[in-house]
Structure 1
Amino acid sequence: MKNLCKYVFSILFVGILFVMGGCDKYLDRSPLDGPSDEKYFANQEELTLVVNGLYSAVVFHPTDDMPINLTLDDATDIGWDRNTSDLQAVGRGDYDSNNGYIRNIWTNSYKVISKCNFILDNISKLDGKMDATLQKRYKAETQFIRAYVYSYLIDYFGGVPLVKSSVSLSDANIPKSAKVEIANFILEELEDAAANLPVSYGNTDIGRATKGAALAIRARTALNNELWEQASKSAKAVMDLKVYSLHPDFGQLFTYDGEGSKEIIFAFQYLRLQKTKTHSTTRGFISRNAQGTSNKIPSQSIVDAYTCTDGLAIDKSPMYDPKKPFNNRDPRLAYTIALPGSVYFGFQFETHKDSLLCWNYNYNTSSPVRIQNQDAINAYATFSGYCWKKYVDMKDKDFTMESELNIIQSRYAEILLIYAEAMIESNTIDQSVYDAINTIRQRPTVDMPAVGAGKSQTQLREIVRKERLYELANEGFRMVDLRRWKLANKAMNSTLYGRIPKGLLANAPAIDQDGLVNYQQVANQKDMRVIEIRKFDGNKNYLWPIPNIEIVTNKNLEQNPGY
C-alpha cells in the first residue's frame, strides 16, 4: 500500500512538472511582487495545478540538495557541515548579511509567499464556477503553506515584512512587522485553515495539508513564541483527532517502510520518476566506504548527551563503561547515529585510525569481504568519527544522489513534546504531562524508564528539554530550541569535538542539567579531535541578518541588531 500511495501521489507531481512552464505565468515572480489581475486561473483545473505547484515550491533545498530541516542541526552544538562554507559559517558564528545559506532561505520563502498571495487574491473569482467545498479546501491549503513559510521566517529572522497580498515592484518597499504581529497572523491563518481542511485524504491526495498539519504547525509556532496556552491547546487538538500515534519501530520511521506511519503528520514528498523531485541526503550522510561524503555529521557531544538505559547521564550512571561507551545507552542513540563497531549501509563502520581493514557485507552477509577501510584512512572521512542515520535507507544504494524518501516535517512525537513543554512552562502540570513524555520514552523499540510523578516545574523543564534532544536530533529543531530556551550562548560558545582518532575517552565528560556536555574533566581531552571553535554573540546571533541585497533595495527595511 505504501508503494501504491507513492505511485499515486507521483501522478500529482508529474502533473506539476508537466505544467510548471504554464504555471510560471501565474507563479514565477520576484519575492515581493505578484502577477497582475489579468493573469489568473480561469477554472477549477487551472486552480488545481497552481495549488499543486505550491507543494513543489515549498520543498526547499538551501544547500547540498538537502531539505532545509536536515541541514539546520549541523549549524548547532550537535552537528557540523564540512563542505558548505555558508552553512558552516552559521554554526561557527562567523557570518554576515551576505551569507548565501541565509539569503537562499529568505529568497525562497518570499517566492513561496508570493505564489500563495496570488492564489488567495484571485481564488474568489471562481465563486460559483467550481465545487465550493474544494475551493475552500484549496484556499485552506494555500493559507497553510503561507503560514508554514512565515513560521520559518520569524523563527530565524524575527520581524520581517508581512506581505498578505500581491504587490507591484513599485510598492514592494515594505517595512518589517513585529514578530508578535506575524505570529498572531500565523495562528489565525492556521486556525482558519484547520477549519476547512480534512482530517485525512484518499490515496490520490496523500501528502497534502490536513487539519492535523495545520494544528501541528500552529502548536509549534505558539511554542516558539512562548504562547504556552495556545501551544498546549493546539497540540491537544491534534491529540484529540485520534488519528495519529507513535510508530512502534523508531528506526524504521525514517525509512521507506515508515512512510505510511500514523506518526507522520506532514512530510515533504519526493519522487524519482522522471527526476520529478529527489534529494541527496543519503550521499551527504553515509560513510566513505559506502561511497558517501559524510559532509553532514553529528558531534561527539550529541553522542555523549544520550543517557544510559537507566535514565541517568553517562557521568552519573553505574551502567556507563568508558571502555564500551555505546553499550547500555538510550536506544535512540544507535537509531539516530552510526556508531563505531556497527554495520552501516552494508559495511562494518569503524573510524579508529588504526582500523585499516573492515568488512563489506553487501555481497553476502554470511561471507563478508575484507576491504580497505576508507572510513579510517580517507582524508575526508567523517571528521567526528560518526554519521547520521535518520533517512539513510539501503533501498537508496543505487540512488544516493536521487533519493525519493519522504522527509518528515511534523510528527506526533513532536506534538506530545510541544504539549508537555507548554503545560510545564505555564505551570499547569498534571498527569497528562507525564503521559505525554512517557508515551515517547516507552515506545516499544525505545523502552526507557518512565518519568516518575512528583517532579517540580524545574525538574520537568529539564526533562522535556533533554527529551527533545534525544527524540528529535537531526530533524532541524535544535537551533530554535536553543534560542527559545536562551541556551545558545552556553551551547554555542564552545569547542566542537569529534572522537579521539585512536582511542576512547578515558572517563565520562560532565553533563549538566540541560544535557550540555563539558569535556574539561576528561583525562585525555587533549587527544580529542577539535573540529571547530564556535562562538555566539548573544547581542545579535539570536537572529539571523536580513540579506544585504534586501536592505539595499528596500530602504524601508531595517537590519537586525548587530549586523
Structure 2
Amino acid sequence: MNLLKNTIKYIGLGYLALGIFSCDQGLDLLPPGEVSELIYWQQEKDARLAVNGIYVELDGPLMVKELDGVTDIGFRAPSGPGSLHDVSMGSFDPVNAAIGSTWDRYFRGVQRANNVLANIDRIEQGNPELLARYEAEARFLRAYFYTQLSSLWGDVPLILEPLEVTAQVGRTARSEVVDFVIAELDQIIQGEQLPLSYDQDIGRATLGAAMALKARVAYRNERYAVARDAAQAVMDLGVYDLYPNYEELFHYAGQNSSEVIFDRQYTVGGDTYNAFSFSAASIGGGSIVEPIHNLFLKYGYKGPENPDDPFENLDPRWSYTSYYTGQPIGTSTFNSLPDSPTADRVRSTEFSTVHGYNLKKWVDYDADEGNPNTGSINMILIRYADVLLMYAESKIELNEIDDSVYEAINSVRQRPTVEMPPITQGKSQEELRAIIRDERAVELAFEGLRLFDMNRWEIGEDKIGSVEGLYYFNEESGEWDTINSGLNRNFRPERDYLWPIPQAEMDINDVITQNPNY
C-alpha cells in the first residue's frame, strides 16, 4: 500500500499490531485482530497500541548492518537484482527493490504517526500525562523517519496529516524538511513530555533521544552550531556513558546499557531475525555484507607495527568488528585463505565471503549458536559515542578547537577494551578533520552511518574501483597481498549522493519529480 495514494485516516489493529512493547522487554508480537472504528480511540490502551505500531517501522539489520556495504568500508554481496548490492556497485536505478521498500517503510511510519496525532485527542478515558507522552513519541518517530528520508532522497513529500485516497503530494525542499524536524524536536524537548529513562517500557523514545536526533539531523545538514549545542545538551544530561566493553556492546550483555540512546528492540518469542545471516558461512551465515581492506587501513596501532604480522597491536575494534584468518570463530579458527579446507574459503560457495573477511559485529556466537533464527540483539540506532564524535566534529568544523574536542575523541578511543593512544593536542583543523573521519569509520563501522558521513563529506568517489579484501601473506610471491575479486564499483557524483524516487511512486503520483540524472 503506497502512502501517497491511500487513505490512512483509520487503521485497524490487524495492521497496527505487528509489534507492541511489553512491560519490561522490547518489541513483542500481538495476535492479529480487528477493532471497530466505533470503539477505537476511546481508551488509553488504544493510543498505546497505535504508537507501538509506529515503532515497528524503525530500521533493522538492512539499514544498520547492511547499509555500510554500499560504502568505501564494506561490500554488499551479490544476491540477485534489486538488492543493495546494486547500490554498492553503483548500478542501481528507480526500480531497485531495496530502495523502494525502504521508502515505503519510512512513509508507513509517517502514516502511522500521523494517524496517532490526528486521533489521540478523541480519547477521553486515560491519564493526560501518559497520552501527552504517547503524542510526543509519535512526533519523535515521525521526525526520525523524516531525518532518514531527507538524508537519502533530499526533497521529499512532507506529510503531516492523514491523506485522502486521491491525494497527490509533491516534494518539499530538504532544507524545509530539516527545519520542520528541528522545530518539532525543539517542541518535544521543551515540552518535557518524554522521560529521561524508563523503569519498564525500555526502548521507547526519551528526552535524550530527542536531543541526540536533533544533533544528528543538524550535523547531517552541516548546521554545526545547532549540532554542537544539541550534542552538548545530551552530554550535560549526565544519563549516558560509554559502555566499557566494546565487543559486548553489540552482544546481549550490552543491550539497554548506558551507552544506548535509542534502538530498535527485538525479543525472543516476538520480533527476531537470523543472527548469523550477515556473517561467516561456517556458522551458517551468508556473508551478506563484508568489511573490506579500506576499512582495515583506517585502524591505527596501539604499539609498533610488526611487518611480519600486520594484525599485531592493531586497534582492538578491528578484531571486534571483523572475522579474519587466524581468529577464533566458535570452536574453530576462521580461515578464508584461497587454499582453506573450511567453509569460509574465499568464494568457495555462494554463502562464502567474496573478499576474505566476514562481519563479527552484532554476532553473539555463544548465545545464538543453538538457534540463530531467533536472534534478538537490539539494533542500536543512536549511541553516546556517536554523540561525542558529532560534538567533536561540529566544533572542528566551526574551528572552535579546544580541550573539549580532544576529550570527546579520546574518551571514545580510550574506553576499556580499546585503549588506543590519545590524540595529542596542537593539531590543525585539517589534521583533526582527517582524525575524526577515520575515528568515525572504525568506531561506528556497520552501524548504518557511513553512507551519510560520505555524502556529507562528498567523498563518494572514494569507493570507485576494484574491491580489495583480506590482507594475507602470499606464499607464491613472498609478499603481503590482498584478495581482489575483480569486481569494480562505480559512483556518479552528479547522481549518486541521492537515491532515486522509486519508480512505483513516480507512476502513481503525478506531481512528484525524480532526482537528477535518474
Q: Which residues of 2 match residues 479-558 of structure 1 at below 5 A?
A: 479-489=451-461, 491-499=462-470, 503=474, 528-558=483-513
- Opposite residue 395 of structure 2, the aligned amino acid is M
**1:40 Cα deviation after fit:** 4.9
Superposition RMSD in Å:
2.2
Report the Cα distance in structure 1 between the residues aligned to 2:335 and 2:360, rounded to whole angstroms.
Answer: 15
1:294 correspondence with 2:287 = yes
TM-score by length of structure 2 reads 0.90
**1:458 Cα deviation after fit:** 1.0
1:189 correspondence with 2:184 = yes
Aligned to 2:206: 210
Residues 325 and 335 in structure 2, CA contact (< 8 A), matched pair in contact too: yes
Aligned to 2:10: none
Residues 73 and 473 in structure 1, CA contact (< 8 A), matched pair in contact too: yes
**1:524 Cα deviation after fit:** 7.1
1:252 to 248, 254, 260: 248
- Runs of 4+ in structure 1 over 6 Å off: 504-507
Query: Match of 1:170, SS?
Result: coil
1:80 correspondence with 2:95 = no
Query: Match of 1:80, SS?
Result: strand
Residues 272 and 375 in structure 2, CA contact (< 8 A), matched pair in contact too: yes
Residues 58 and 145 in structure 1, CA contact (< 8 A), matched pair in contact too: no
- Opposite residue 376 of structure 1, the aligned amino acid is R
Query: Match of 1:297, SS?
Result: strand
Deviations 1:379-406 (A, max 9, x none): 3321111111111002111222220111
Q: Which residues of 2 match residues 27-176 of structure 1 at below 5 A?
A: 40-55=40-55, 57-61=56-60, 66-85=61-80, 86-126=83-123, 129-171=125-167, 173-176=168-171
**1:321 Cα deviation after fit:** 3.1
Aligned to 1:308: 301
Report the Cα distance in structure 1 between the residues aligned to 2:39 and 2:398, rounded to whole angstroms.
Answer: 49
Query: Match of 1:154, SS?
Result: helix
Residues 316 and 417 in structure 2, CA contact (< 8 A), matched pair in contact too: yes
Report the Cα distance in structure 2 between the residues aligned to 1:114 and 1:8, rounded to whole angstroms.
Answer: 26
Residues 472 and 480 in structure 2, CA contact (< 8 A), matched pair in contact too: no
Report the Cα distance in structure 1 between the residues aligned to 2:468 and 2:45, rounded to whole angstroms.
Answer: 54
Report the Cα distance in structure 2 between the residues aligned to 1:60 and 1:302, rounded to whole angstroms.
Answer: 23
**1:124 Cα deviation after fit:** 1.8
Report the Cα distance in structure 1 between the residues aligned to 2:48 and 2:141, rounded to whole angstroms.
Answer: 15
Residues 352 and 503 in structure 1, CA contact (< 8 A), matched pair in contact too: no
Aligned to 2:11: none
Aligned to 1:361: none
**1:189 Cα deviation after fit:** 1.4
Aligned to 1:337: 322
- Opposite residue 166 of structure 2, the aligned amino acid is S
Report the Cα distance in structure 2 between the residues aligned to 1:501 and 1:328, rounded to whole angstroms.
Answer: 16
Q: Which residues of 2 match residues 308-457 of structure 1 at below 5 A?
A: 308-310=301-303, 319-356=304-341, 373-376=342-345, 378-380=348-350, 381-394=352-365, 395-457=367-429
Report the Cα distance in structure 2 between the residues aligned to 1:457 and 1:550, rounded to whole angstroms.
Answer: 43
Seen in structure 2, the aligned counterparts of structure 1 residues 123 and 386 have a Cα distance that, compared at 3 Å, is: same
Residues 255 and 405 in structure 1, CA contact (< 8 A), matched pair in contact too: yes
Query: Match of 1:309, SS?
Result: coil
Aligned to 1:365: none
Residues 498 and 531 in structure 1, CA contact (< 8 A), matched pair in contact too: no
1:180 correspondence with 2:175 = yes
2:438 to 458, 461, 466: 466
Seen in structure 2, the aligned counterparts of structure 1 residues 263 and 92 have a Cα distance that, compared at 3 Å, is: same
Aligned to 2:33: 21
Residues 297 and 388 in structure 1, CA contact (< 8 A), matched pair in contact too: yes
Report the Cα distance in structure 2 between the residues aligned to 1:559 and 1:184, rounded to whole angstroms.
Answer: 22
- Opposite residue 41 of structure 1, the aligned amino acid is W
Show structure 1 runs of 5+ residues with no match.
1-5, 27-37, 311-318, 357-372, 508-522
1:237 to 223, 233, 242: 233
Report the Cα distance in structure 2 between the residues aligned to 1:95 and 1:260, rounded to whole angstroms.
Answer: 36
Query: Match of 1:408, SS?
Result: strand
Aligned to 2:14: none
Seen in structure 2, the aligned counterparts of structure 1 residues 49 and 420 have a Cα distance that, compared at 3 Å, is: same
- Opposite residue 141 of structure 1, the aligned amino acid is E
- Opposite residue 282 of structure 1, the aligned amino acid is F
- Opposite residue 284 of structure 1, the aligned amino acid is F
- Opposite residue 17 of structure 1, the aligned amino acid is L
**1:344 Cα deviation after fit:** 1.6
**1:547 Cα deviation after fit:** 0.3
TM-score by length of structure 1 reads 0.83
Report the Cα distance in structure 1 between the residues aligned to 2:417 and 2:438, rounded to whole angstroms.
Answer: 19
**1:60 Cα deviation after fit:** 4.4
Deviations 1:105-164 (A, max 9, x none): 0011111100100100111222x5421111110011001111111111111100100001
Residues 247 and 263 in structure 1, CA contact (< 8 A), matched pair in contact too: yes
Report the Cα distance in structure 1 between the residues aligned to 2:471 and 2:242, rounded to whole angstroms.
Answer: 36
**1:283 Cα deviation after fit:** 2.3
Q: How many percent of aligned residue pairs carry the same amino acid?
A: 36
**1:222 Cα deviation after fit:** 0.5
Residues 300 and 497 in structure 1, CA contact (< 8 A), matched pair in contact too: yes
Aligned to 2:268: 272
Report the Cα distance in structure 2 between the residues aligned to 1:443 and 1:471, rounded to whole angstroms.
Answer: 11
Residues 71 and 450 in structure 2, CA contact (< 8 A), matched pair in contact too: yes
Deviations 1:276-295 (A, max 9, x none): 2111242221x222222222
Seen in structure 2, the aligned counterparts of structure 1 residues 475 and 504 have a Cα distance that, compared at 3 Å, is: farther
Aligned to 1:3: none
Report the Cα distance in structure 1 between the residues aligned to 2:59 and 2:230, rounded to whole angstroms.
Answer: 26
Report the Cα distance in structure 1 between the residues aligned to 2:195 and 2:62, rounded to whole angstroms.
Answer: 26
Residues 354 and 502 in structure 1, CA contact (< 8 A), matched pair in contact too: no
Query: Match of 2:211, SS?
Result: helix
Task: Tell me which moved more, 324-333 or 493-502.
Answer: 493-502
Deviations 1:287-340 (A, max 9, x none): 222222222211122122211225xxxxxxxx3234312111111111111121
Residues 501 and 529 in structure 1, CA contact (< 8 A), matched pair in contact too: no
Residues 297 and 386 in structure 1, CA contact (< 8 A), matched pair in contact too: yes
Seen in structure 2, the aligned counterparts of structure 1 residues 495 and 396 have a Cα distance that, compared at 3 Å, is: same
Aligned to 1:262: 258
Aligned to 1:316: none
Report the Cα distance in structure 2 between the residues aligned to 1:174 and 1:431, rounded to whole angstroms.
Answer: 48
Seen in structure 2, the aligned counterparts of structure 1 residues 445 and 7 have a Cα distance that, compared at 3 Å, is: farther
Seen in structure 2, the aligned counterparts of structure 1 residues 108 and 68 have a Cα distance that, compared at 3 Å, is: same
Report the Cα distance in structure 1 between the residues aligned to 2:317 and 2:58, rounded to whole angstroms.
Answer: 27
Query: Match of 2:166, SS?
Result: helix
**1:345 Cα deviation after fit:** 2.8
Report the Cα distance in structure 2 between the residues aligned to 1:105 and 1:9, rounded to whole angstroms.
Answer: 29
Residues 276 and 284 in structure 2, CA contact (< 8 A), matched pair in contact too: no
